[in-house]
Chain A
């Protein structure tokens, strides 16, 4: 249950509030997760006044502000088309108006299309205070254990690479059963990520060899101990197929 609500005017004020130790304090983006009732007592720091919603590109790459809404990503012509599509597939139109990029990353399930695409693109999270830059994959692996008091300022993405996204779902707008994203760079680097069963999407390959990426996709769910409605056999074959298609697409595109 939210027992305290703050709307700071400055980043310093926000960080000070987030550093409180007397009760859990969480940054509040769109509120679609934190607004839901729970028995746990906590405070929220609403980030809406901090102008963290900018989407800009410079020499360092793409900078996606933490509170950029998913709809802003969908509407941003400067982004990779596949990333925009993945943002669109994340949730419905209404929720995309308020759900933020950072909130989506923090609460992402294993089947998150957007986080799968960001993983493939080697997204980095920039944290405050300190401007620490942490790879998205590292954050996802440790997010349950991370200390409070921190705030994602932005997500950084490289420019100039190619991103493909593919999925299998029961219907066109359903949560994917499996989704895959493959990013390729001019130097031959290939990063592949899968979304599916499990607590978070997973990076399956980062290297130069496309066959390795396909094999990694096949093996990603080979030790499936996760709750899944699909068989291991299906997940393995479909994962490999989607990555194979995306690799072919990247070569032809």
Chain B
């Protein structure tokens, strides 16, 4: 059982590790690959969380205030991620419009989004597996 539990955690961790794909970030192909990989990984994590929320709603005897807090934590983490990732799309648009202006902004926005994705993934992993 512990092995299975470990594997489930490892799988989520691996999914998140993939999201750290980086390389030299410009507004080109590498940026696209980094952003698309992170988005797909977060999407899978959120779908997993959705399944967990639906499952939890059918359980009895849990601490409701703690469960509410966990949902609020994940919601905040996702919202933080979404805001950061939206900023990368906006930074790319700025970069396309003015190549002198947006390069650094895109890179830092993407780093912030990846950090937020990692926080979100850890919360989903800890709350759902612990």
- Are chains A and B native binding partners rather than an unrelated pairing? no
Residues of B at the A interface (CB closer than 8 Å) are none
